[in-house]
């Protein structure tokens, strides 16, 4: 075998091994990327079931507070009516 042919043979073998190794590394990275994509999709799905968006929370909080204010005013009116009917301060008992 000539020296040039031997060098070419060794270089081709080295490049083949390097390409194969790079292919395995690239395939492993691609599989991890796919696994991360699936995990992210599952997280997004769980998030829609378990979490509330900020604007929805703010809206619901406002509704709850307005309902509590209505209940408070009704209790105040009831206490005033009981005070008028009994002639004295209403005492909880």
> What pTM value is reported for the model?
0.48
CB contact set of 41 (below 8 Å; sequence gap of 6+)? none
Tens digits of residue pLDDT in 13-42? 999 999 999 999 999 999 999 999 999 999
Q: Is 87 left (phi over 0), alpha (psi -120 to 50) or beta?
A: left
Burial (CB < 10 A; 0-12, 13-18, 19+), residue 48, is exposed
Distance from the Cα of residue 20 to its chain's centroid: 39
Q: What is the pLDDT at residue 53?
A: 83
């Amino acid at each position: 075998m000539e020296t040039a042919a031997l060098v070419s043979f060794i270089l081709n073998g080295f490049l083949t091994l390097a390409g194969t190794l790079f292919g395995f590394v690239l395939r492993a990275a691609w599989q991890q990327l796919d696994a991360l994509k699936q995990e992210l999709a599952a997280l997004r799905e769980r998030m829609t079931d378990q979490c509330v968006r900020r604007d929805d929370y703010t809206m619901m909080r406002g509704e709850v507070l307005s309902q509590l204010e209505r209940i408070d005013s009704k209790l105040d009116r009831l206490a005033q009516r009981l005070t008028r009917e009994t002639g004295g301060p209403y005492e909880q008992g």
